[in-house]
Amino acid sequence: MAPSAGHLRPGRYLAFFALIVVVLYALVFFTGSGKATPKLGIDLQGGTRVTLTARTPDGGQPTRDSLNQARQIIETRVNGIGVGGTEVVLDGNNIVITVPGEQGDEAKNLGRTAKLGIREVITSVPNTPAAPPSAPASGAPSAPATAPSKPAGGGGAEGAPAQQSPSSTPSAPASGAGGQDAGKNPIEQARAVRQAPALMPKDPKNQQEAAAAQAAQQKALAALTCAPNAADPLEGNDLPNQPLVTCGDKDATKYVLGPEIIPGTEIANANSGYDQQRGQWIVDLSFKSAGGKTWGDFTSANIGKQAAFVLDTDVVSAPTVQNAILGGNTQITGKFTQTDAKNLADILKYGSLPLSFDSSDATTVSATLGYASLQAGLIAGAIGLAVVFVYCLFYYRLLGILTIWSLVLSGLLVYAVLVLLGRWIGYTLDLAGVAGLIIAIGITADSFVIYFERLKDEIREGRTFRSAVPRGWARARRTILASDAVSFLAAAILYIIAVGDVQGFAFTLGMSTVLDLVVVYLVTHPLVAMVSTSKSKFLSNPRNLGLGAVQKLGSQRKSARPAPGRRANVKEA
């Protein structure tokens, strides 16, 4: 026996739904930036399109595999950084990144090579203006590594991260060696001076070799130009097994570095954070087992020396080792802003690109066409919604008003969820997503039609509206669940196998299908139950509910049935 409508206690369901709406909109208005609008895709709000041109050390054509690998890594960085609505596509030897809104700078950072390595600091000198040609070279370092101006303690305690001295934020690497011959490969020219094997003596105890190495270092340091935004031909193309002369400390210092001790591929994880004790932003690093062992061996044997963290030939930090750092956990500290620390951590965390890229083009994309398409789509959606409203009012009358009210509440729910998803996971609403929302109106209305038609079936059997509600719901909900499950499964499969705009369509369609169940269970059915138990003559009139014809038919069928306990008279032929 189906439960009566009174056992439903519809007020509790409606109160629970109201609580959900209140919580969602409290999160919308009182968390994040408080901006109560969804994030829009590039087709709706415009944005920036950045073209990255691949370059190889020998100047040849990059392979298709390396380009695909670079595209996948950039997509991973997009997901990790949270730049929503970004498209990453291959166009010949170029990778085109399209970013909505005002996130063009982040798009340029996505293409950074991020070739990280840890090298020993052989010597360092301030980046002072070059002396006149007639003046003799002076100020060349004669001793190994100079300590930074603000050294910090090492990580001696168990489980404590290593401490480094402040250094620089990631900046544009310096230019290559001067006096290069025209027509030669600039990468090879820079390597010949800044990565010459003669920069380090084969036998440090041999005074003649040490003097020759020092002279080569002075020559390379004098030829190196450290200037903001200067292009470095060695960026992403330095040889890890050779010494390196490069810049750091926001181009305030020139360094001579030894061969790479630990490659960036040995980094297991990287996260940015704020050090309350020092009052500065830091980047925490954890190494893989092999890298952690090498780092422990190096710090144990080189206490008092500097180790340089080199990102794309730029020294981002050069800490002084004060204690052996065991366990593989360390920090990069420096004069980082929050954005600098986060960008560096994200780039290190999501891997190095197999190719070097130049940002060859950055253009602004207008949203005029997108706005026109959105306007047309909204007009189409409004017309469709109006048709649904008119049909419901004409065919279901008062029940049609409940349908309209349920659709309005469903729209409020969907809007709040879109705003919050834009903040939490960077979801952006594009034209394809709008199309998914418009189609979802039909799915939601279809659930109401299933329920109301089942009510009519019960009333045709001779039951009253009040007794038909629980029985009709018990049968209708199975059909509604099956229908929504099929729609959600189709949307989920489409989201998994599709790319680009089609994924936005599938996402909004699947999300709206789930929210449809919430509205039908917590709003539509409780409202119908409340109407069925109402003592109002207006609400209890079957004609006002669009049930007059079916109730009349039900009464006729009921009167035509034999009374209980009696047999119909049968006249024999």
* Residue 538 in domain: yes
Higher pLDDT, 13 or 89: 13
Do 119 and 64 fall within a single domain?
A: no
pLDDT band at 569 (very low <50, low <70, confident <90, very high): low
Domain count, the chain: 3
Residue 88 reports pLDDT greater than 60: yes
Query: Which helix H or strand E contains 359, and what residues bound it?
Result: strand 356-365
Please compute the mean of the pLDDT values over residues 92-119 and round it to a whole number: 72
Do 388 and 508 fall within a single domain?
A: yes
Do 148 and 227 fall within a single domain?
A: yes
The separation between CA 47 and the C-alpha centre of its own chain, rounded to angstroms, equals: 17
Lowest mean pLDDT segment, chosen from 60-74, 147-161, 443-457 = 147-161
* Residue 564 in domain: no
Please say whether the beta carbons of 507 and 427 come within 8 A: yes
Lowest mean pLDDT segment, chosen from 107-116, 159-168, 243-252, 375-384 = 159-168
> 474 lies in which domain range?
5-33+367-559
Do 9 and 64 fall within a single domain?
A: no
Residue 152 reports pLDDT greater than 50: no
Do 102 and 121 fall within a single domain?
A: no
Q: What is the pLDDT of residue 473?
A: 93
Do 529 and 390 fall within a single domain?
A: yes
Do 532 and 505 fall within a single domain?
A: yes
The separation between CA 60 and the C-alpha centre of its own chain, rounded to angstroms, equals: 33
pLDDT tens digit string along 230-252?
A: 778 887 778 899 999 999 877 88
* Residue 339 in domain: yes
Q: What is the pLDDT of residue 564?
A: 58
Do 288 and 414 fall within a single domain?
A: no
* Residue 570 in domain: no
* Residue 329 in domain: yes
Domain C-terminal end among 71, 86, 108: 108
Query: What is the C-alpha to C-alpha distance for residues 571 and 573, in angstroms, rounded to an integer?
Result: 6
* Residue 568 in domain: no
pLDDT tens digit string along 428-454?
A: 888 888 888 888 888 888 888 899 888
Which CB contacts under 8 angstroms, 24+ apart, belong to 1-7? 2/470, 2/471, 2/474, 3/470, 4/466, 4/467, 4/470, 5/466, 5/469, 5/470, 5/529, 5/532, 5/533, 6/533, 7/470
Higher pLDDT, 16 or 268: 16
Q: What is the pLDDT of residue 538?
A: 77
Do 26 and 121 fall within a single domain?
A: no
Q: For position 462, which CATH number holds?
A: 1.20.1640.10
Q: For position 63, which CATH number holds?
A: 3.30.70.3220
Please say whether the beta carbons of 24 and 515 come within 8 A: no
Q: For position 283, which CATH number holds?
A: 3.30.1360.200
Residue 420 reports pLDDT greater than 80: yes
* Residue 445 in domain: yes
What does pLDDT average to over the chain? 77
Do 153 and 296 fall within a single domain?
A: yes
Do 238 and 260 fall within a single domain?
A: yes
Domain C-terminal end among 351, 386, 414: 351
Do 179 and 276 fall within a single domain?
A: yes
* Residue 319 in domain: yes
